Amino acid sequence: MAKPKLPPKLAAELKEPEPSRQSVAGQAACAENNREREVRLRIIQVLRRLGISDNQWPDFVRAFYANPQQRIEYHQFMTPPPFQAPEFDRLNQSPKDWMQVADRAWELQRNRFLQRCADWVREGVDEAIVEATPARGRGTKRPAQVRGRNRGDNTPIERRYEWAAKYLIRVPLKEIAGADAEASTVGRIAREIVRSAGWPTK
**Residue 6, pLDDT score:** 56
Can you list the pairs that 124-131 forms with residues at least 24 positions away whose Cβ atoms lie under 8 Å?
125/19, 125/20, 125/21, 125/23, 126/23, 126/24, 126/27, 127/24, 127/26, 127/27, 127/28, 128/28, 129/27, 129/28, 129/31, 130/28, 130/31, 130/32
pLDDT at 152 over 60: no
Per residue in 167-197, pLDDT tens?
999 999 999 999 889 999 999 999 999 999 9
By the 8 A CB rule, do 147 and 181 touch? no
148 pLDDT band (50/70/90 cuts)?
A: very low
Q: What percent of the chain has pLDDT over 70?
A: 77
- pLDDT greater than 90 at residue 61: yes
Is a pLDDT exceeding 70 seen at residue 24?
no
How far apart are the C-alpha atoms of 28 and 35, rounded to whole Å?
11
What are the extents of the domains in the chain? 23-77+133-202, 81-131
Structure confidence at residue 20 (pLDDT):
42
The mean pLDDT of the chain is 83
Which pLDDT score, from 0 to 100, does residue 5 have?
62
pTM recorded for the entire structure: 0.69
pLDDT of 66 above 50:
yes
Q: Give yes or no for residue 1 having a pLDDT over 60.
A: no
Whether pLDDT at 124 is above 70: yes
